[in-house]
Amino acid sequence: QVWGSSGRSHSVDLTALGKHGEVYTEGPFACLAWSHSETRLLYVAEKSRPKPQPPCPWDAPGADRPAEEHRDEQVGTMHPGANRTVTQDQRFVYHEDWGEALSTRSMPVLCALDLESSSLSVLEGIPEHLCPGQALWSPDDHGVVFVGWWNEPFRLGLSACSNRRSGIFHLDLDSGHCELLSAEHAAACSPRLSPNGQRLLYLEGDLGGPHRQCLRLCMITWQTGQAVTVLDVVHEPTEAFAGLYVEALPPRCWAADSRRAVLGTPQRSRTDLLLVDTETAIITNLTAGSPEGCWELLTLQWDLLVATCSAPHQPPSLVVAVLPPAGQELPIHWVPVKNSPTVPGVTWKTLQIQPPQSRQSPTMHGTQAFEALLLSPTDSMVPHPLIVCPHGGPHAVFDARWRPSMAALCCLGFAVLLVNYRGSLGFGQASISSLLSRVGEQDVADTQLAVDQALSTEPLDPHRLALLAGSHGAFIALHLLANEPERYQACALRSPVSNLPALLGTSDIPDWRYTSLGLPYSFERVPSAEDVATMLLRSPIARAARVRQGRGRGGGGLLWYPEGGHALAGVDTEADVFGNCAHWFLQYLGQ
């Protein structure tokens, strides 16, 4: 539907037109972009496939067909001059998908809806080895800019993976010529055209390696096609800038001057809004030092910033600000539109943790500091039981945002420790890379170090400890249980990674199984016995007997959520997961 000041002007059932399959409304491919003339809409949908026909008994070669069909052939109504072709049944042909949360996404196509003529077209000219998405119109509306992901030799999972080969392309709608604008062997995404149509901003990362990483901010001058790096990868963070770690730029990130841009990105355990001057590469942190730990830009139009801000004890508030002229950005004055009060009974702080220097190799991988967020009840019932939460990924981050489940645990009397071990986003590329070949060792040691520091400096009960984690965080938690089975009184894990070799044949990211352990990966690689042995030795399941022998009391249980996916997403699923975890901890931590 299209609505204007006078009401609804257009209503089109896109799928009913039969030009394509399901429209992509979310995920990495999805987009909905107006042409500059506001007469055409650009979007992405699944490529149309022939509808399955019910099998007929006479479709088998040599089978008798109805007399009517014989008569039709005799009068020439069925493919005159040619033998009758038996149509192959396409119902059971396998189509690759793009992995977790994208199982219905296989071959996207770009579609253009012309509102003036009420016509719909699927754009042609995109090479078959590319899957297009994130499209927008070129400055003159005679072409489109899009992100193309290589789908050969086969598709690997895209979710939480910024290291898949992709590029920024331009498709000329008049000639049908498709041209690569960005680097050929890189992972590029999130193109954003400046208001004057002269600059194209986008994100770029390296292929392979960590599944998420520190990214470059690049820019193309439209008239010349020249690409430059505005902000490069940050290996060691400084106080002023720790690097870019976002999955996408805000849909509207450009200032009205077509020179400055605003984006949000993790900076250690915060997510801040950064203003970037694309000509001088000067960065201004617009939210540094604010009491809120997480800022997200919703839109930037006519230099009006609309954002949300939150903290572990404060739900998101809606705020606006006018972007000052260049060189006068600070201080910026945020005006609350809808303010959310803090939740009583919850307080939080950031813990700085310095790992010890390695005796075996004092300089190798450094001894980068990392952080943990500690949420605590404000009541006087100290010492508090502690729930330890290493995040999944592993290349992700617990920023200081509002998380209802964590605040609720505090209201139930638990302290919660959110650990950003080395390898987390927001602390520089060197920290991310330090975890490669050390999963199950460095991340586990860092989490245990964070627990020890919290217990020694905060009013916490060392005899009432629990673990709560998911995915790779659960992998860490299982190792912690195996290391010290008597130390933790309870554990609740979501979609745990427990058996690395088993994932080689079931995971949508088999490359990560190799890379995480420092093993080389190629599309042609078949796991060797040595590979499998290495993965098994690093898997928590290899140490399961230690957990069984070390826990003399209590029990266990398994809950199965068929609709939740790996992330156990969805309102009903998330509510049930939290309720069961909370009851489990109340039962075994004596609250």
Average pLDDT value for residue range 257-272: 98
CA dist., res. 271 & res. 171, Å (int)? 35
CA dist., res. 428 & res. 369, Å (int)? 11
Residue 249 has pLDDT above 70, yes or no: yes
pLDDT class of 349 with cuts at 50, 70, 90: very high
CA dist., res. 395 & res. 243, Å (int)? 14
Name the percent of the chain lying above pLDDT 70: 91
Average pLDDT value for residue range 462-467: 97
pLDDT class of 552 with cuts at 50, 70, 90: low
If you search the block for the tokens 């919703």, which residue do you land on? 298
Q: Which residues of 392-408 are buried (b: 16+ CB within 10 A; e: fewer)?
A: bbbbbbbbbbbbeebbb
The pLDDT assigned to 556 comes to 86
Which stretch of 206-210, 576-580, 586-590 has the lowest confidence by average pLDDT?
Answer: 586-590
The pLDDT assigned to 548 comes to 67
**Beta-bridge mates of residue 147:** 133, 168
The pLDDT assigned to 133 comes to 98
The pLDDT assigned to 359 comes to 56
Residue 118 has pLDDT above 90, yes or no: no
The pLDDT assigned to 83 comes to 53
- State which H helix or E strand residue 247 sits in: none
Do 274 and 265 meet the contact criterion of CB atoms below 8 Å apart? Answer: yes
Q: Look at the domain 346-497+549-589 and name its fold.
A: Rossmann fold (3.40.50)
Q: Which residues contact 152 (CB under 8 A, 6 or more apart)?
A: 129
pLDDT class of 70 with cuts at 50, 70, 90: very low
CA dist., res. 60 & res. 384, Å (int)? 73
N- to C-terminal Cα distance for the chain?
A: 53
Residues 19-47 pLDDT 10s: 999 999 999 999 999 999 999 999 999 99
**Residue spans of beta strands (DSSP E) within 194-345:** 199-205, 216-221, 227-231, 260-267, 270-277, 283-285, 294-301, 304-311, 314-322, 335-338
CA dist., res. 417 & res. 349, Å (int)? 10
Q: What average pLDDT does the chain have?
A: 92
Cα→Cα distances 60→51, 54, 66, 86, 186, Å: 19, 13, 13, 8, 49
Cα→Cα distances 17→3, 262, 564, Å: 21, 39, 32
More confident residue, 317 or 79: 317
pTM for this prediction:
0.92
More confident residue, 555 or 418: 418
CA dist., res. 252 & res. 500, Å (int)? 41
The pLDDT assigned to 49 comes to 87
CA dist., res. 218 & res. 231, Å (int)? 7
If you search the block for the tokens 């000219």, which residue do you land on? 125
pLDDT class of 321 with cuts at 50, 70, 90: very high
CATH superfamily placement of domain 1-48+98-233? YVTN repeat-like/Quinoprotein amine dehydrogenase (2.130.10.10)
Tokens of 101: 């949360």
Of 393, 404, 398, 392, residue with least CA distance to 373: 398
At position 388, the amino acid (one-letter code) is V
Average pLDDT value for residue range 316-320: 98
Residue 235 has pLDDT above 80, yes or no: yes
The pLDDT assigned to 78 comes to 47
The pLDDT assigned to 505 comes to 86
Which stretch of 49-63, 120-134, 530-544, 561-575 has the lowest confidence by average pLDDT?
Answer: 49-63
Tokens of 463: 């005899």
CA dist., res. 469 & res. 496, Å (int)? 8
Which of the 8 DSSP states describes residue 254?
A: B
Tokens of 329: 């950005």
Residue 433 has pLDDT above 50, yes or no: yes
The pLDDT assigned to 67 comes to 52
Q: Do domains 1-48+98-233 and 346-497+549-589 have the same CATH topology?
A: no
Residue 73 has pLDDT above 60, yes or no: no
Number of other CB atoms surrounding residue 371 within 10 Å? 22
Do 125 and 105 meet the contact criterion of CB atoms below 8 Å apart? Answer: no
Residues 154-189 pLDDT 10s: 999 999 999 999 999 999 999 999 999 999 999 999
The pLDDT assigned to 92 comes to 86
Residue 252 has pLDDT above 90, yes or no: yes
Residue 549 has pLDDT above 80, yes or no: no
More confident residue, 73 or 549: 549
The pLDDT assigned to 76 comes to 44
| Ranges of each domain in the chain | 1-48+98-233, 250-341, 346-497+549-589
Residue 571 has pLDDT above 90, yes or no: yes
Residue 84 has pLDDT above 70, yes or no: no
Tokens of 355: 């790992």
HSE-up of 320 (CA within 13 Å, CB side)?
9
CA dist., res. 261 & res. 252, Å (int)? 9
